[in-house]
Structure 1
Amino acid sequence: MSLTMLLSSLGTSIANVALPTFVHALDASFQAVQWIVLAYLLAVTTLVVSVGRLGDLWGRRRLMLAGIGLFTVASAACAGATGLWMLIAARVVQGLGAAIMMALTMALVGEAVPKSRAGSAMGLLGTMSAVGTALGPSLGGVLIAASGWPAIFLINLPLGCVALILAYRHLPLDRQAVARPSFDYRGSLLLAMTLAAYALAMTLGRGKFGALNAVLLCIAIVGAGLFAAIESTAASPLVRPSLFRDRTVRTGFITSALVTTVAMTTLVVGPFYLSGALRLHAATVGLVMSIGPLVAALVGIPAGRGVDRLGVRRMTFMGLAAMASGAAALSVMPLVSGIAGYVVPLATLTAGFAIFQAANNTAIVTGVEPSQRGVVSGLLNLSRNLGLITGASVMGAVFSLASGTTDIAAAGVNAVVSGTHAAFGVAAALIAASMVLIARSAPHAPAVAA
């Protein structure tokens, strides 16, 4: 399962570094080749909840094997694509396989690992996800330089085959249900359309929110309302409304999206500050940016063990406190502090993110009944993806607005510093809001008689 988590996160990050290569190799515009990345992201975002529910109904082992196989075959199709749209179509299929792996990995681990060790397992999965994210750009650059762009997809073939063999040999057999509920196709289609509209509203326009973005956002809002109404009357709903009546689960999903939005701020704003304010070369910028995923990878396993020993709630607040202090420091850091003034708060923030993820995932996955773990795991991954999408759009807009210019590449040092401070100031406020939500979600202790 750690290998499937690595594969799915690697598929997200490894293609970004190849975008300039795709422009020349496929004779396409930069706007067109961006769909190679966006197609994968859209497929994962729109389908991750539905395939999680399918796993609950049809068998998680069976669907996981299909997902790994689909991801591996689609990777071969990506490498063999002879045109842009053929590659984009293959990336959609690859995204479907990744959605299955993402949705079912935590559910299968939550089922197989004793509750006393669930934190360690979730920490390991978080580490593998961070490793895949950090490894993608550097590995992609090496593979492209050595063998050309198809190599960034061919690398998935041996890894996918190993994951498939291991999953076939070691995953427990699916239990045969006496009466299998029907799958909510209507709700699944509506949710996919709603999520696609929201994702496109946040990503189209290259940072400019125009009329098309507004229409798509309105469609997403209406779709969300219709989905809630449909699910409340469905005989076998995709997402049971009662799931969100659990305050701990509801708060966990919301704070996961908020915290991931903050984590995305480091990826969106960081490069502009490092290059525009500190005047670092591209190679140095890449090196500094890799520190965040590296810290998250190193902290993941110890954080999981801390969850097992100290408890979910204590570790959740510890992670949020670290994130808040890191974001607050970045919001006021003076320019004279140089690279160290950015790296130390960045490491603090990303370490806190890893701690929070291990604690929050453990609390939610182990806190629901086994028959719902697939859809809950899918919802957790969805909240993370929505945070990434929202962070890229909203935090980029905050940075641009505070810097006072739409041409960030030509902005002066003071404008870049002002935008960076504003973006991380908003990030610190989001973490503070998350801490309030977590505090309010605690069950009230019974009154003690005098």
Structure 2
Amino acid sequence: MRPATLPGTEPEQKRRPPLAWALTALSLSMLLPSLSVSIANVGLPNMAVALDAPFNEVQWVVIAYLLAITTLIVGAGRLGDLAGRRRLLLSGIAVFTLATLLCGLAPNLPLLVAARALQGAGAACMMALTMAFVGETVPKDRTGSVMGLLGTMSAVGTALGPSLGGTLIAVFGWRAIFLAAVPLGLLALALTFRVLPDTAPATSSARQRFDSVGAALLAITLGAYALAMTIEGNSFGPLAIGLLLVSGAGLALFVITESRVSSPLLTLSMLRDPALAAGLITSALVSTVMMTTLVVGPFHLALALDLDPAFVGLVMSAGPAVSALTGVPAGRATDRFGAEAMVVIGLSGIIGGAVALSLMPTAAGVIGYVLPLVAVTAGYALFQAANNTAVMKDVSPRRRGLVSGMLNLSRNLGLMTGASVMGAVFAFAAGTSDVTTAAAAEVARGTHRTFAVAALLVAFGLAIVLGLRLRSRLSPGVRPGRADAE
């Protein structure tokens, strides 16, 4: 009988699947969830007409998807660690693909929203576990390159969604934006089954009981926060404030519960690891700023620069295109020069681009907006590859799913916060409650001040990272909560 092998030993290395096929499976698992966000947005007007529903109700096609991902992603990551990541990833892809088919066949809006929520549940498993599989499929010295590739696939999905969705709708109707993804889901399912390794816990001590109470409390907490950030758009009325209070109460109960159960969903001592905490905080801050470019950009281009809608869309696609092109080189730079240095350079690039956007006069025209946007998005691609590598590289195999889920959660929370909070900052800075009717000078003022705030947010994140580096140099030693942590 062959002896059991520990993670990282030579026998495990030999069991790694063929790299090209494994990366194809992981790339599809990253591409499909991001594509399903952007491709659905472009179809909302057609859905409203076809299903005879008001636009505020049709928006739940997007909200339900994002809400399901946000509430379930951390629990999905932890459950994958306990029950086996390959098994849960296969289940997630199967649920995602089935739900995608149901979306394309839904006869009315309530069933479409329900199918989208189910699709989001599958996407949560895919997003939480894809990065966790990097440790099982590639050597450590290539982690950055693979993280860059996964970041590229996410950017490709985001960039491809509007153009692909528009074409499918024009030729086949809105249902095609869902039905066309079903074959890709089946391909991802087949590849994952064939080439990704089984990652069931190696020891009996790893087979702990899943913390269902903690998972429920965290889902309520995150769900209430997500609704507070989205349900009233850029304003914060009584409903949003009430949801924030529910979220705060849920967080307090979650912390109390996690300190008392024997097998918690999230070991709170993990957050004492400064590298993990800094990675999560900066991920949320940077995602907030990236959403700012999507919220502010269309108004600035259309109203301040007086561009027609087709040109606005072309300029807006520059951001995701740059992220897609720079993702893999950013990953390679991370492997060569180190994750910590690249995190600092990436954050510095975002700050520089945001400062330029806050100072650039409208007389500079489209070039004056696009060049700083390229700096922001290139810095984002470099930060993402480096930060994901820094957070995931030394994580214990038994916690890879959980930490991956936390990292994706921080990004999701940042995106939702950016859509709501930075949208409110933009409207406040422009001096109007309805930006669509604002004068060009007001929109330009709002753009400049909003990106000034964005630069300050990322500067705060950079200060955290630099403080961590200084602390590690003054007090070298083993970082808690990483590979040595249970």
State the distance in 1 between where 2:136 and 2:36 align.
26
Verify: 1:217 aligned to 2:229, yes or no. Answer: no
Partner of 1:149: 174
User: How far apart are residue 146 of structure 1 and its match?
Assistant: 0.6
Counterparts of residues 54-65 of structure 1 (less than 5 Å): 54-65=79-90
Between Structure 1 and Structure 2, how many residues are aligned?
448
CA contact 2:136–2:197 (8 Å) conserved in 1 = no
Q: Which residue is equivalent to 1:23?
A: 48
Alignment match of 1:341 (pick from 368, 383, 394): 368
2:33 maps to what in 1? 8
Partner of 2:204: 178
Please show how residues 255-294 of structure 1 align to structure 2 within 5 Å: 255-294=282-321
Normalising by structure 1, we get a TM-score of: 0.98
Change in 2 beyond 3 A, CA 1:447/1:5: closer
> Would you say 1:391 and 2:391 are equivalent positions?
no
- Percent sequence identity is 58
In the TM superposition, residue 241 of structure 1 has moved relative to its aligned partner by: 1.1
The change in CA–CA distance for 1:18 and 1:447 in structure 2 (over 3 A counts) is closer
- Partner of residue 367, structure 1: 394
Please tell me whether residue 444 in structure 1 is matched to residue 472 in structure 2.
yes
Q: 2:70 is matched by which residue type in structure 1?
A: T
1:374-385 mapped onto 2 (5 Å cutoff): 374-385=401-412
Q: State the shift of 1:446 in Å.
A: 4.8
Query: Pick from 85, 95, 109: which aligns with 2:120?
Result: 95
Aligned to 2:92: 67
Equivalence for 2:148? 123
* Partner SS state of residue 283, structure 2: helix
Structure 1 residues 84 and 446 mapped into 2: Cα distance closer, same or farther (>3 Å)?
A: closer
Matched, 1:165 2:187: no
Q: Secondary structure at the match of 2:204?
A: coil
State how far apart, in whole Å, the 2-side matches of 1:48 and 1:138 are: 28
User: What is the aligned-residue RMSD (CA, Å)?
Assistant: 1.1
Distance 1:24 1:52 in 2: 38
Which amino acid in structure 2 is aligned with residue 262 of structure 1? V
- The CA deviation at 1:65 is 0.7
Gaps in structure 2 of 5+ consecutive residues: 1-25, 477-486
Q: CA deviation at 1:438?
A: 0.4
Specify the code of the residue in structure 2 equivalent to 1:382: L
Matched residue SS, 1:233: coil
Match of 2:129 in 1: 104
* Aligned pairs for 1:237-316 within 5 A: 237-316=264-343
2:351 alignment partner in structure 1:
324
CA contact (8 A) 2:431 2:442 kept: yes
Residue 257 of structure 2 corresponds to residue 230 of structure 1 = yes
SS in 2 for 1:225: helix
Q: For each residue in 1:114-168, what CA deviation from the matched residue of structure 2 results, as whole angstroms up to 9, or x when unmatched?
A: 1111000000000000000000111100000010011000111110111111111
Q: Distance in 1 between matches of 2:59 and 2:179?
A: 20
2:234 and 2:354 mapped to 1: Cα distance?
A: 23
1:133 match = 158
Q: CA deviation at 1:262?
A: 0.5
The runs of at least 4 aligned residues of structure 1 exceeding 4 Å deviation read none
What 5-or-longer segments of structure 1 have no aligned partner?
Answer: none
Match for 1:161: what amino acid? L
2:226 aligned to which of 199, 214, 221: 199
What SS does structure 1 have at the residue aligned with 2:107? coil
Where 2:233 maps in the other structure, the secondary structure is: coil
